[in-house]
Structure 1
Amino acid sequence: MNWLPPLLRGLGTAGAAANARAELETAHVRNLQAALVVQRVNRSGAGHPLLPAAEVRVA
C-alpha cells in the first residue's frame, strides 16, 4: 500500500507541479554537470577548447 499515496498525489495539480519541479531540477543538475565537463575538458592539457556545438552535445 506504500504505492498508493504517490499515485494519488500524481493525479492532481499538486502532483503535476511536483513533477514539473522535479523535471526542472533534473535539467538544472544535468546542465551543471555538463558545464563542469566542459570546464574540465577546456582546462585539460589538450589545448583545444570545445566548440560551442560540442558543448551543446555534452549537455
Structure 2
Amino acid sequence: MMQCPNCRSKDIGKIGSQQYYCWNCFIELSILGDEWTVHQVEADGSLSSLDDIFTAEERKIQ
C-alpha cells in the first residue's frame, strides 16, 4: 500500500494518471519510476517542488 513520504499517511487519493493527493498533509504526489515526486499546491494553484527536502530513500514507493 502506498504511503505519503511526508506524513506516512495511507489516506492518498488518485487525482489523475500517476498523480495522487495526500488528504492528511495536502501535498500532491506523482510517480516517476519507483519514486514519488512531491509538490506543494500554492494558493494560486501552481505547484512547488518539495523533492529537495526528501532523500531518494524517503521518496521510494514502498
Q: Relative contact order (C-alpha < 8 Å, sep 6+): which is higher?
A: 1
TM-score by length of 2: 0.23
TM-score by length of 1: 0.24
Higher Cα Rg, which structure: 1
Larger proportion of helix: 1
